[in-house]
């Protein structure tokens, strides 16, 4: 099946995968992806075997008067002074961004659950303005991409094509930021949603992510030799699998290896039989895990994050031999089972391998797109919370904020 998939276009593979997987599934409860509905939900019937994809049972449940407050997951954090900058031309969730010197290339994303973007917006840190906009290839995924850069070329790997919970593509593209021309790369052996992706010592590495059904974590790890925007090999090479699969992790290239941080197993899936592939909630587990791949292609476990954090694939920057991570999503509320966003800024010191919480965002936000320029930490986009006392996701934003780090 995987070999077949790679020859399909996005649209064909959507129809193929979903018919195959869900022709005989029972209907499920519909999604609460943009949860503006007032009633709390509870998940029961949990089985820890994630391969056995469980439909999430959603039931009404009265929350005992503040026994566990909705904001219980917030960690104590120093205040930072945030300054609001010019908003991006469009709001986006589950997009991706790559910084190359003073320019910030912001790709794709959902505008709403029914509308996805297929273009790039560019922000200039030198004069703090949005300076450019150009199209992506039509076949390129609109969300859940993996991305990496060598400082000129931006590699765009796999991801989801279209709105709601549509299928993924195995196709990969490369952008020359100097000419703004796109080219294609050999397709992945199988499509992935939000795989950890990095360029390291001349090879693109693609790890984890979710498999074709959007929920099952993949542990495969593939690599491809690339140079100046071109593949030097015809096929991806299988490498040592990642210890834990799943989408939405931060993944950074270091001098001596690749670091993979946080993420989750499980994700929303298309409702069986839904002609619009309507998103339907499934069981998810969010992780604190940190792994490092060394030059011998061996995985090492590093100290975990201060709390589970996912949807951070584009929410990190490297500053002064540390990794700074901005926002995300954490585990669901234990009573209400509501989704909870993260409002902290975390720092991991690469020399001491210690985590700390260095500040708070102006609001909790997931899938932030982060950058660092001349002492300023920037973030834009994502989905923010309902307010200081309510960490549930609400509005998809295009706002841009910055704070001076010291």
User: Cβ atoms within 10 A of the Cβ of 356, count?
Assistant: 15
Nearer Cβ to ligand NAG (124/356): 124
Segment contacting ligand NAG by CB under 6 A, of 120-128, 180-188, 225-233, 245-253: 120-128
Phi/psi for 2 (5° steps) reads: -65, -40
Q: Per rule CB under 6 A, is residue 406 in the interface with ligand NAG?
A: yes
End-to-end CA distance of the chain: 52
Smallest distance from the beta carbon of 347 to ligand NAG, in angstroms?
Answer: 9
Q: Which of 86, 115, 319, 349 forms a contact with ligand NAG (CB under 6 A)?
A: 319
Residues 6+ apart with CB under 8 A from 171: 6, 10, 139, 140, 141, 158, 184, 187
**Per-residue contact flags (x/-) with ligand NAG for residues 83 to 102, judged by CB under 6 A:** --------------------
Q: Per rule CB under 6 A, is residue 405 in the interface with ligand NAG?
A: yes
Nearer Cβ to ligand NAG (28/368): 368
Burial per residue of 364-397, b for 16 or more beta-carbon CB atoms within 10 angstroms, e otherwise: bbbbbbbbbbeebbbbbbbbbbbeeeebbbbbbb
Q: Per rule CB under 6 A, is residue 127 in the interface with ligand NAG?
A: yes
> 395, 378, 391: which is closest to 84 by C-alpha?
378
Residues composing the chain: 406
Q: Per rule CB under 6 A, is residue 351 in the interface with ligand NAG?
A: no
Nearer Cβ to ligand NAG (51/374): 374
Nearer Cβ to ligand NAG (357/405): 405
Inter-residue contact 314 to 97 (CB < 8 Å): yes
Q: Which of 44, 47, 126, 352 forms a contact with ligand NAG (CB under 6 A)?
A: 126
Burial per residue of 12-29, b for 16 or more beta-carbon CB atoms within 10 angstroms, e otherwise: ebbebbbeebbeeeeebe
Q: Which of 2, 30, 36, 320 forms a contact with ligand NAG (CB under 6 A)?
A: 320
Segment contacting ligand NAG by CB under 6 A, of 126-134, 192-200, 253-261, 273-281: 126-134
Q: Per rule CB under 6 A, is residue 124 in the interface with ligand NAG?
A: yes
| Residue located via tokens 């020399």 | 351
- Which residues of this protein are in contact with ligand NAG, per CB under 6 A? 103, 124, 126-127, 131, 319-320, 405-406
């Amino acid at each position: 099946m995987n070999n077949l998939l790679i020859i399909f276009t996005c649209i064909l593979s959507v129809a193929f995968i979903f018919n195959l997987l869900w022709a005989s599934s029972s209907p499920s409860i519909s999604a609460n992806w943009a949860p503006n509905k007032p009633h709390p939900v509870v998940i029961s019937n949990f089985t820890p075997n994630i391969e056995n994809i469980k439909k999430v049972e959603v039931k009404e449940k009265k929350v005992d008067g503040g026994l566990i407050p909705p904001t219980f997951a917030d960690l104590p954090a120093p205040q930072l002074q945030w300054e609001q900058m010019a908003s991006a031309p469009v709001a986006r969730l589950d997009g991706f961004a790559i910084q190359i010197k003073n320019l910030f290339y912001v790709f794709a994303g959902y505008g709403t659950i029914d509308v996805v973007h297929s273009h790039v917006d560019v922000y200039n840190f030198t004069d703090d303005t949005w300076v450019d906009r150009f199209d992506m290839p039509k076949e390129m995924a609109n969300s859940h991409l993996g991305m990496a850069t060598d400082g000129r070329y931006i590699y765009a790997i796999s991801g989801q094509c279209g709105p709601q919970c549509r299928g993924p593509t195995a196709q990969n593209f490369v952008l020359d930021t100097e000419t703004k021309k796109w080219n294609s790369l050999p397709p992945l052996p199988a499509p992935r949603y939000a795989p950890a992706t990095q360029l390291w010592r001349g090879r693109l590495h693609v790890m984890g992510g979710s498999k074709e059904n959007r929920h099952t974590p993949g542990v495969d790890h593939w690599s491809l030799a690339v140079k100046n925007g071109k593949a030097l090999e015809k096929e991806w090479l299988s490498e040592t699998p990642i210890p834990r699969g799943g989408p939405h992790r931060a993944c950074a290239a270091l001098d001596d290896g690749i670091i993979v941080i946080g993420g989750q197993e499980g994700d929303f899936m298309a409702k069986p039989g839904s002609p619009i592939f309507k998103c339907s909630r499934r069981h998810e587990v969010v992780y604190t895990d940190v792994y490092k791949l060394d030059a011998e292609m061996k995985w090492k476990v590093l100290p975990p994050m201060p709390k589970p954090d996912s949807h951070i694939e584009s929410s990190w920057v490297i500053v002064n031999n540390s990794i700074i991570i901005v926002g995300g999503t954490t585990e669901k509320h234990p009573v209400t089972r509501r989704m909870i966003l993260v409002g902290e800024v975390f720092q991991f010191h690469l020399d001491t391998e210690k985590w700390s919480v260095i500040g708070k965002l102006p609001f909790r936000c997931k899938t932030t797109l982060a950058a660092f320029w001349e002492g300023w930490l920037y973030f834009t986009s994502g989905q923010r919370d309902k307010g200081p006392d309510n960490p549930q996701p609400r509005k998809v934003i295009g706002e841009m904020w910055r704070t001076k780090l010291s």
